[in-house]
């Protein structure tokens, strides 16, 4: 495995180890969409060498996928891989929509067709179940996806937010090429089980939240606030008194990064990449937010720096908060 690319089973193209995350581009839970800026952001990411774009239908209820499709159509000559998801459904209209888990085979088939249309492609490079659906047997969902895979509509399969036991059930029916969990300096629970599982079964981790919803950009301070339609308004990390403790840790991370001549953002993403067979999802909604992507390549943290990271966390955030607030409910 080279420093900056990795191989995903079923995908011929070597994949850059930073991918563009497009939840914010969809607008939902991020203050609304800005389509033209979203297109420019995707184009900037491609210009910076990113060749994998991660999206999902629930990111703006189809809107993020539409923007990805439009952006790629408007930039011919750039072959970008697309990872999308399925298994979430919704009811209601506008900001009152209620999201719930739904991985029934009929829902899976519909979502794949809808995604193909919105993304303007003939096959989806990586299709992932977004969250496990406790009311649908995992093997039924896996069988539906494997059928679409064999039909040529999907090149590689993955899961997101699954436990090792759930992945074992899925793998009895279909291969898992990618696993998408949260991973960043503050959210590290996958070190215990998911990372070893990925290494054992030769799956690639698509780490979401690599910058912890902007916290690890170093651009926030104690007076930073978020409107009600922003995801972070419901994240306990961004509420007092937790916010101050996390900001203090970020400041110490910044000092540590500066000794290496790096930004705290590059340092945080490099830490993610150093954990194993990982691609970091770099979320952005403005072109300027992807300008420094290449700063994460060509180096790794030293053993001393890794120890310093753990000491900073023990000092400021001894009991880190998992991102469980994001988990959608099961359907009624």
Q: What is the C-alpha separation between 313 and 57, in angstroms, rounded?
A: 35
* Residue of 59, 197, 208, 246 with catalytic role: 59
Token pair, residue 12, equals 């011929």
Q: What is the C-alpha separation between 277 and 273, in angstroms, rounded?
A: 8
Considering only CA atoms, which of 297, 237, 232 is closest in space to residue 267? 297
Token pair, residue 6, equals 């990795």
Looking at residue 288, the DSSP 8-state letter turns out to be G
Residue 51 burial (CB count, 10 A): 18
Q: Helices (DSSP H) in 127-241: which residue ranges?
A: 138-150, 164-171, 194-200
Q: What is the C-alpha separation between 262 and 1, in angstroms, rounded?
A: 23
Strands (DSSP E) contained in the chain are 5-6, 15-16, 18-21, 52-54, 81-86, 88-91, 98-101, 124-129, 154-160, 178-180, 204-207, 278-283
Token pair, residue 177, equals 């090429």
Burial of 125-148, coded b for 16+ CB within 10 Å and e otherwise, reads: bbbbbbbbbeebebeebbebbbeb
Considering only CA atoms, which of 177, 230, 169 is closest in space to residue 9? 177
Residue 208 annotated among the catalytic residues of the structure: no
User: In a 3-state reduction of DSSP, which class is residue 180?
Assistant: strand
Looking at residue 23, the DSSP 8-state letter turns out to be H
Q: Return the active site residues.
A: 59
């Amino acid at each position: 495995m080279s420093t900056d690319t990795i191989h995903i089973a079923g995908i011929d193209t070597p994949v850059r180890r930073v991918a563009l995350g497009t939840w914010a581009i969809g607008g939902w839970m991020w203050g609304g969409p800005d389509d033209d800026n979203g297109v420019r952001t995707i184009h900037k990411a491609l210009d910076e060498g990113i060749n994998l774009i991660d999206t999902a239908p629930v990111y703006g209820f189809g809107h993020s996928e539409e923007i990805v499709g439009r952006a790629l159509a408007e930039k011919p000559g750039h072959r970008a891989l697309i990872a999308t998801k399925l298994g979430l459904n919704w009811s209601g209209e506008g900001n009152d929509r209620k999201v719930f888990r739904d991985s029934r085979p009929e829902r899976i088939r519909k979502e794949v067709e809808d995604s193909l249309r919105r993304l303007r492609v003939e096959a989806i490079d990586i299709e992932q179940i977004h969250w496990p659906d406790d009311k649908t047997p995992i093997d039924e969902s896996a069988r539906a996806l494997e059928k679409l895979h064999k039909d040529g509509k999907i090149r590689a399969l993955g899961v997101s937010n699954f436990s090792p036991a759930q992945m074992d059930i899925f793998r009895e029916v279909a291969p898992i090429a990618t696993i998408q969990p949260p991973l960043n300096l503050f959210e590290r629970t996958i070190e215990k089980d998911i990372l070893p599982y990925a290494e054992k079964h030769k799956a690639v981790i698509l780490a979401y939240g690599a910058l912890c919803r902007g916290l690890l950009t170093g651009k926030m301070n104690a007076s930073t606030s978020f409107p009600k339609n922003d995801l972070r308004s419901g994240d306990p990390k961004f509420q007092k008194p937790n916010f101050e403790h996390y900001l203090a840790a970020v400041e110490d991370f910044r000092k540590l990064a500066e000794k290496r001549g790096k930004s705290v953002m590059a340092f945080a993403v490099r830490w993610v990449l150093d954990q194993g067979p990982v691609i970091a999802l770099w979320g952005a909604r403005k072109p300027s937010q992807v300008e420094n992507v290449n700063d994460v390549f060509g180096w790794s943290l030293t053993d001393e720096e890794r120890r310093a990271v753990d000491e900073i966390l023990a000092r400021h955030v001894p009991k880190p908060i998992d991102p469980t607030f994001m988990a959608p409910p099961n359907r009624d």
